[in-house]
Structure 1
């Protein structure tokens, strides 16, 4: 029996899948059109947020308190609001509001809690039948970013409690795990903030602290997924890292693609001749400040070696 046959008078599974994909494609095009329409500063007082299409509103608790939004609020303070909320002209022309919030409740409430009077927004004439799907799409896309914000928020809070820089935390955590001594009560502090163990934070999440500013901006701007940015961290200070970030943005890379491309770079580095790494080490020293610190004799010796190197590269 064919798997494409559906109920009498109904759509087959195959036809349902095609229709769902077409609907999703249309939705993505609508969202792109909304963002392309421009970004404006809209007063919070002109926005109605009472729509019942937000799935978070049915959770039975307040998902927009300071504790839940701490990570996003910190990101907005540090980098600004990198993505606009989505609004539509208010359908009730006689009411007090000019706009209706379609998607971006977390960004809206974060700006409100920060004491801001405006929010960055794109305005588009969304249809009533698109609102539920748009809000669901928005929340689905935020799941990875939510975890990213939580991790950064935990590291930021721990650093503030211990009065240290965030990048010092992995070393402190490693010391606790190696020695069993915990003079800063790191494990107890972590239990208050998250259910993840100290070992998990040190091994799985510490890469968050090695993200570059451009990568963090890309994550919060949603041009790359957090997992893609974390794959790039494995490249360390290799020059390919910035190039791959741009390629990830342009190509909308999946995590699998990012992992494969990073592995290609790392494998290529392993196969390079030793002279390549030696050249990298030497060039780090050829800075004016380092050269000026040499004695006259040392400078003459370096100059002689550089002339020999120059001759080696001269065309035969």
Structure 2
């Protein structure tokens, strides 16, 4: 994530970048055509996954109508540009081996370019809740010039509004700036974001990966995440993806797993030892010399194992 030594002012939507994205800036420069090969992707991008079917649909549309909305780029030198917004169009143009593409060229700073990319990411129709959560956290971290973990800690203060120290922090310039960002985005308050979105970051890694790759939707992923056993969770996730299970089918699978778990007795190491001791005592192996000799050999190995554990 880009960093800056200059503190940012209280948050305002970057109208220069947003207006360029949606064509509302009368003073924006007109689009012009440049070589596709002169455009390069930024070193770090907020968007990590593109649904193949969505990209194919865009490719078909461009074949029929051309690129209707120009890409946004910023100049690197006289002949090279860095993509700021429009990565799907850029990738579709590459697939179609287009020689030129329409662009709007603006001299954005690193922070401005990163922010516009994040904001464009938040406008995606196919954005799932986890991706949206991550994008908002990145935007907050960029604007407040702190890490995502520090943003989360700041937002979590809303869980303790009556503490005096929290009261002071929540009236600080940093907190007011955070609130203004949420107001500008118009989707959450800090508290609703904490309650409804931050828990998504604690989803198991395989669930988050399936979500970000578009393999499963959020409601199904959330249901599967309830399974505590990692192996059972992984198996159900794979089954849900490969067989395209509905949410009701997934819930039926979870109910079945819960019933199996309830009917299976929990055997702890302590119970195993206790049961073995009782069975050994009841068997009275010492009455049979041969069996007792075998038992003593095994008991000696156990003693050696215990001594080895104590010495370590």
Superposition TM-score, scaled by structure 2 size: 0.43
The structure with the larger Rg is 2
Higher relative contact order (CA 8 A, sep 6+): 2
